[in-house]
Amino acid sequence: MGFDWRFNLSGGPPLVLPFQFKDTETLRKGDLMNIETGEIDLGATNDTDFAGVFVGPENPDDAHKDQPGRVDGTDSTTWALVIVNPDAVYGVTDANARNAGAALDISGASGAMTVAAASNNDVRVVKTKKAAGDETLVVLDPGEHYLAKA
């Protein structure tokens, strides 16, 4: 589960940058990241400096051997790769139909992130989704992305 990069609204490939872990924690591919003091940690609803989606460790040796996509990182030591395009569109599993432009929150723990009803407006739906089983396409709300701040 989690968020998967699909495309950028402006076109082109994803921009992937390295960051150090802010905390000693476990992250998984598809987790949304937040930037705090220049380092990444697991995003949570109402964060204000989202970066994008966790791709994996910068050093392949830091990957968990038995669980692909899992990294047990150490505070200010482990380096990870994160997609950071402010206009990146991500696909996420969501059990609800959604209208284009709808505001949603992010929800869930590492490895199980999804979207939920809005109160903090973390992401916006890019394309109307009629069937509950279809993937929801979202972009980080521009006011919430660390590179899109005024």
Output the tens digit of pLDDT for each of the chain's 150 residues: 799 999 999 999 999 999 999 999 999 999 999 999 999 999 999 999 999 999 999 999 899 988 888 999 999 999 999 999 999 999 999 989 999 999 999 999 999 999 999 999 999 999 999 887 889 999 999 889 999 875
Same domain as 94, residue 74: no
Same domain as 78, residue 19: yes
For 75, which DSSP code? T
- Tokens of residue 56, six digits: 């994996």
Rounded CA gap, 141 and 108, in Å? 18
Nearest-CA neighbor of 142 among 122, 120, 113? 122
Same domain as 93, residue 63: no
Same domain as 81, residue 18: yes
Same domain as 112, residue 138: yes
Last residue of a domain, one of 85, 110, 136: 85
Task: Using DSSP, state whether 135 is helix, strand or coil.
Answer: coil
Rounded CA gap, 49 and 143, in Å? 9
For 61, which DSSP code? G
Same domain as 96, residue 77: no
Domain extent for 64 = 12-85
Residues contacting 125, CB < 8 A, separation 6+: 98, 99, 100, 101, 102, 104, 136, 137, 138
- Helix and strand totals (H; E) in the chain: 0, 13
Which pTM does this prediction carry?
0.94
112 CB neighbour count, 10 Å cutoff: 13
Same domain as 136, residue 105: yes
Residue 4 lies in a domain: no
Residue 126 lies in a domain: yes
Number of domains in the chain: 2
Last residue of a domain, one of 85, 103, 123: 85
Same domain as 132, residue 67: no
Nearest-CA neighbor of 119 among 44, 45, 32? 45
Same domain as 119, residue 60: no
Same domain as 76, residue 121: no
7 CB neighbour count, 10 Å cutoff: 17
Same domain as 80, residue 37: yes
Same domain as 94, residue 75: no
